[in-house]
Each structure stands twice: as C-alpha cells, then as structure tokens.
Amino acid sequence: MLTRLFGMDSSRARRLALGAAAAYAAVAVPAAAWAEEAAAPPVIDSGDTAWVLASAALVLMMTLPGLALFYGGLVRAKNVLNVFMQCFISAGVVGVLWVVCGYSLAFGTGNAFIGDFSKVMLNGVTLDSVVANFATPPRNIPELVFVMFQGMFAIITPALILGAIAERMKFSAWLAFITIWILAVYCPIAHMVWGSEGWIFKSGAIDFAGGLVVHMSSGFSAILAAVMLGKRRGFGKEPMPPHSLPLCMIGAGLLWMGWFGFNAGSALSASPLAGLAFLNTSTAASMAVMVWAAIEWLHRGKPTALGGATAAVAGLVAITPACGAVSPAGALAVGFGVAVISYAACTFLKPALGYDDSLDVFGVHALGGAWGALASGIFAVTLGSGIESNAQQVMVQLEGIAFTAVFSPAVTFVILSVLKLFFGDLRVSEEDEVEGLDLSQHSESAYGFASGSSFLPELGHAVHGHATSHATSAAAVRAS
C-alpha cells in the first residue's frame, strides 16, 4: 500500500511499517498495563492484616474481661455485677454506634474538629477499601479491619470512666451518658488527634495509641463526673477495701497482655515499629511496678498487691502515647515518672482534696496519660511531622494536653447537667446504694447471698469493698 501511494520500494515500506508497529507497542502496551493496574484492587498485606485482627481481639479483651475483673475486684461484693454489666453495655452501645456514625465522626474527612457523615453506616467502606499503615514503606490493610480495631478503642474509653463513679450511678443514667459521651467527646478528640484533617494531628503532636484520645479524655471526664455525683455514702467514715484482690490482679494481668494489641497494634503492621511499641509497653509497666513497690516499701513498710496492680496499669497508661516514639531507655523514664506521679495522686492528692474517685481513674488515667503525653515530647527519638526539636515537640504536646484537659470535662459537665434534667438524680437512692447495685439495678447477686449484704456468715468476716484511698487500704483489709 505504502509502495503504491508514495512510490516507496518494498524494503523501505516494510521498515516504516515495523517502526510504526514498534512505536504503537511502546505506547499502547504500557498504557494497557497501567489501565489494568488501575482497575486492580490495592494489594493487601496479609501479615499486617493478621496482626491487626489479632490486636483488635486483644484490645477487646482489655475491656472484657480485663477491665471488668480489675474494677470488679476493687468494689464491694454487692456491686461487682453492676461493674461487669457497665463494661458489657459499653461494648454493646459503642459497638453499635461506632458502625452507625462513630467511625465517620472520628475518621471521616470533616474539618479540624470533627469528621463528617460521609461514612455513616460504613458507607463506601468495601472489601476493596484499604488504609495505609505505618510500615516503611507503607503497606495496606483492609479498612474494615481498621474500623474494627479503632472500634475496640472506642469501647474501652467510656468504660474507664465508670471507675470514678462506681457503686452509686443509676444504670439507666450510665447508659444514656456513654451513648452521648462517645459521640460528643471521644469522636471529636479522636478526629482532632488522629484524623488527617484534625488540628492536633496537623500540629505534629505525638499520640501513638491514645494518651490524649483514650486516657486523658476519660480520666478528666471521670473526675468531673465523680464530683457532680457526690461521694459514696459512708466514704471516709467506714472502710471500703477491695472485695477480691485476686480478681483485681487477674484483671490487671489481662490488661497488661491486651495492651500489646493496644499499643503495638497501633503500628497497623507487623513491623519493627510494632516491635518497638511492644518492647516499650512492657518495659514501662515493669519499671512502674518496681518503683511503686519501692515507694510503698519506704512509705508504708510493705509493698501491696493492690499497689502492684495499680502500678502496672499506670505504667501502661503512660507509655501509650509514647511507645512508638521513644527508645527503651525513654520507656524506663516514662515508667519511673508515672509511678511517682500516680502514687502521689492516689495517696496524697485524693485525701487532701477529698474527692471520691472510687477506683483512682483520675490519678492513673488522667494524670498518667498527661505525663505520658508530655514525656512523648521530652524523650522522643522520632519527632512529629514538621517538628525540629524536642523543645518544640514539648510545646506542641502541652497544647494537646491543655485542650483535652479542658474540653473533656467541659462537655461532660454539659452532658450530665442535661441528663439530670431528665433523670432527676443520676445516682441511686440511699436504700438502693445500701442494698447494693447488683440487686437494686439488676436483681442479681454475684455470690449467691440474696440480701446483697456485705457480710458473709460462712467466712465469718465482713467484706466492705474498695479502699477509700491507697493510704488506708492495707489497714482496712487487716481490720476487716
């Protein structure tokens, strides 16, 4: 054809035709490959996915049964089932709300303060949706797995608050409170700290696994709730030691184990970063236990099991925001610091101010979380995005700490004030409190004595419940 049209000889025409074919192949073949690659779903890393799935299960174990046993062992025998049920209802309410709109409010695009409704009912989250993790280079996990993992964080956070108002809040009021609190407090803070549009995230703050989002938000809300509800009847006048320290110790051990999923799972990958978070988590907890025991030995003459369990949780709380950013030496410093701070808060600050934070949520979670967030800047070896020095990182951390310490209790005050208009009183009646919340709120008894009495005739001694403070718990147990 080319020969006839342009008078070319056949050999030249063949060369021109071959050149055109080659040029077409050079353009068309890669274009087809690119189109095929664009159409293919993103590659999912199976190892990372498996680790985050396992981590999500570990985080749920922190609430059920870890926190339930830890808190349940610390209250009086007549209230233990109420504590268990408060933990279970948190898993129920938050588990539903997270899918309906919580995930969207926390991780939807939104603005600097809260997400939008683009992912309500997990709209747009499909089998092919992915989230990039923190491996180097980043790899993908299914967004559905990320949704579930973050949902476990949302479940445990309001459950932490119950430790401050244990043994006196109506179950119906508790149910209404956590329903509103998770949407009005937790989701906005999670978005601000972890959402790509959140202002705390954009400032370069370090909160690897939830020092601000989980522990400070719940801890500062808890102390406000405890003050608004008022003290337990008999607080400061009669002994209230833990009814079962073995349950408390088992719960603390399960929390320690589950915390590996909480912290190392936050790398969203089976990676060296996850390994660092795993190591730092246990290191800080171990250090806190040793230091707390030493302080008790010097201050009281004997280390206590209650102190050991409390110290372990305090160490785990403090390392949570820092576990991916500090070295193991930094983790030791974090554990040392929180043991001193939380011991002082539980032993001296609480009696001095006279507030009835039943299970020391403020001293452990609020102050422990604040110390961990601050320590993240002091000891960071990996700084936040755009941060050039540890001094600058500390200032950014202080901004996040100050905001969370004001925002959480302020919104909690509004929530409880509104609920009080509907319920009249947020706490049970005096008669119900004396009888015990197991019977008055659930018509059940944990140990089979129908009256719910704190006296166990077959054992020949009284079981009074949680200590009014760590300073008096050991003597109270001996007195009982």
Tell me the pLDDT tens digit for each residue of 187-215: 999 999 999 999 999 999 999 999 999 99
Q: Which fold has domain 47-430?
A: Ammonium transporter fold (1.10.3430)
What is the mean predicted confidence (pLDDT) over 270-290?
A: 98
What distance in Å separates the CA atoms of residue 324 and residue 350, rounded to the nearest whole number? Answer: 32
Q: Write the CB contacts of 278 (distance below 8 Å, at least 6 apart in sequence).
A: 260, 263, 264
Position 39 confidence tier, pLDDT thresholds 50, 70, 90: low
What distance in Å separates the CA atoms of residue 429 and residue 298, rounded to the nearest whole number? Answer: 42
Percent of the chain exceeding pLDDT 70 equals: 85
What distance in Å separates the CA atoms of residue 406 and residue 100, rounded to the nearest whole number? Answer: 28
**pLDDT of residue 276 exceeding 50:** yes
**pLDDT of residue 464 exceeding 80:** no
**pLDDT of residue 19 exceeding 60:** no
Q: What is the pLDDT of residue 135?
A: 93
What distance in Å separates the CA atoms of residue 406 and residue 408, rounded to the nearest whole number? Answer: 6
pTM: 0.87
Alpha-carbon dihedral sign for residues 380, 385, 390, 392: negative
What distance in Å separates the CA atoms of residue 354 and residue 364, rounded to the nearest whole number? Answer: 17
The stretches of 186-304 forming alpha helices (DSSP H) are 187-194, 199-202, 217-229, 245-264, 272-300
Helix axes 143-161, 217-229, angle to 10 degrees: 30
What is the mean predicted confidence (pLDDT) over 420-427?
A: 95
Among 180, 71, 238, residue whose Cα is nearest residue 411 = 180
**pLDDT of residue 273 exceeding 90:** yes
CA angle (147, 159, 377) in 5-degree steps:
70
Q: Write the CB contacts of 467 (distance below 8 Å, at least 6 apart in sequence).
A: 239, 240, 241, 242, 306, 473, 476, 477
Position 30 confidence tier, pLDDT thresholds 50, 70, 90: low
Q: What is the pLDDT of residue 448?
A: 78
Pairing of strands 455-456, 140-142: unpaired
